[in-house]
Structure 1
Amino acid sequence: MIVDDVEQRSVAWQRSRFGNFTGSEVHNLMKSGRKKYEAWSETAKSYMYKVAAERLFNPDFLNDDDVFDDYLHQTNFTSKAMQFGIEQEQYARETYIKLNNDVEVFEVASCKHDTIPHFAASPDGIVRGADLKCLEIKCPNIATHMMYVDKIHDGASLKEVKPEYYWQTMAEMACTGATETDFVSYSPWLLNPIHIVTIPRNDEDVALLEERVKLANAFVEEIINKSKS
């Protein structure tokens, strides 16, 4: 696990992830096209074109904090609900720690895969224990939180209900070497504000994910080479 020593959501963190396939978006690579011979869905292609463009970004703009921050503000949308979730994340982490006998949770930035280039994930914490464990926190609205309580109980149900979150947890385990991830839904308005589900590492799905990222990297390199010809 290669960890960038920068604060999550900072300009430096955004720069470190630029041009990478990341845990929060890697689910876009997991669907093939509608026809049997199509390796990629249109959503996957759109994501790969975006990554290709990021790798060709003007370095003068990329390395200028003010210019790059301006670009991020123009291209990244943060709703009130998303901002609320970001603000509640620390409280969710503190609640999780108390419920788990004051277990140590370390905040990390972008964790790069040991062997696959341009592949990184940013778990919301690393839990110290006998085995490495990731923490992934979501702070949805109260109705969505209760739906998670009702329907998400293990890896299979997470994959069915929220496949994008399932593949995010697999990406985090692929990039960190963790054996499991605690998926946490937190709603501060409720008497019992936290729902914790342990998602074990699925080696077959991790291998599938890693293979898709390798193929996506090859696709991106092909696009980059075309742009230079």
Structure 2
Amino acid sequence: MFDLQDITKEMENEVQGLDFNSLNALPSKHDLWLESKRGVFSASEFHRLMGYEDKPDFPKGAETYAMEKAIETLTIKEEGYTNDIMQRGNELEIDAMHEFMRITGLEVTKFGADQEFLTIGKHVGCTPDGIIKGLAGVEGKAPNSKTHFNYLTTIKNQNDLKKVCKDYYWQCQGGMYVANLPLWYFFSYDPRFKNPAHQMHIIKVHRNDEDIEKLKPRLKTAISVKLDYIKKLNG
């Protein structure tokens, strides 16, 4: 026959034996995600490699980016910077994705806390805001109303996206390269607009293999530059 008092006492002893400071010190999923990105060239910053994209020279900005990745590899992480706009974007992220699914009828996985950092080898990766299995990736933004208005009025297709938001265009193309997908959805969401038709703006970005072929040698050079910086310091 079980003695409830003995069982309770045993459980209390187990709890007392736990090192809660050690448990609290365990890295969160977000911390692990941040750490996995350190030193890796990520699609969100591929635009920094693509200045003067039709010239063979490695741009100065790309050299700086490669140096930063070398420094990340050689150092421990600092606390990340955030501001009100970034915080609001994070808070709306889940609502925005559900609204995207409602409008498009598409099922998105791997979003919010379930996002995954995808990689090609050790040096190149991306974190899609969501994945439509076997079909596409998703990149969503929840900007301030002025920026959203600008997207509504100036971006009608992926060519406009490249002209107006070069960083997001290369993020989408880079995501397709890393995830090996043919399509990426870019959307901007702002529920403060009175007209529901103005709250969500969606652009389809198709894989552009010509642009991806321009990206590949820039990535190859960036990796080489990063490794050279590390070698210089380590001897």
Shift of 1:207: 1.7
Cα separation, 2, equivalents of 1:224 and 1:32? 26
SS of residue paired to 1:105: coil
**Of the two, which has the highest radius of gyration?**
2
CA RMSD of aligned residues (A): 1.8
Find the counterpart in structure 2 of residue 79 from structure 1.
83
Task: Count how many residue pairs are aligned between Structure 1 and Structure 2.
Answer: 200
Question: So what's the TM-score if we normalise by structure 2?
Answer: 0.80
Cα separation, 2, equivalents of 1:222 and 1:175? 24
Deviations along 1:4-26, one digit per CA (max 9) or x if unpaired, are xx95xx11000010110001112
Shift of 1:228: 2.1
Q: Which structure 1 residue ranges, 4+ long, deviate > 4 Å from structure 2?
A: none
The 1:136–1:125 alpha-carbon spacing in structure 2 relative to 1, beyond 3 Å, is same
Structure 2: give runs of 5+ residues left out of the alignment: 1-27
Find the counterpart in structure 1 of residue 47 from structure 2.
27
- Structure 1 vs Structure 2: percent identity of aligned residues? 31
Question: So what's the TM-score if we normalise by structure 1?
Answer: 0.82
Find the counterpart in structure 2 of residue 179 from structure 1.
182
Considering fraction of residues, name the structure with more helix. Answer: 2
Shift of 1:221: 1.1
1:49-198 matches, cutoff 5 A: 49-57=67-75, 62=76, 68=77, 71=78, 73=79, 76-101=80-105, 103-107=106-110, 108-113=115-120, 116-128=121-133, 131-190=134-193, 191-192=195-196, 193-198=199-204
Structure 1: give runs of 5+ residues left out of the alignment: 1-5, 63-67
Aligned pair partner of 2:229 in 216, 219, 223: 223
Find the counterpart in structure 1 of residue 19 from structure 2.
none
Shift of 1:32: 4.8
SS of residue paired to 1:106: coil
Cα separation, 2, equivalents of 1:171 and 1:117? 16
Contact 1:132–1:177 under 8 Å retained in 2: no
The 1:56–1:187 alpha-carbon spacing in structure 2 relative to 1, beyond 3 Å, is same
Shift of 1:117: 3.4
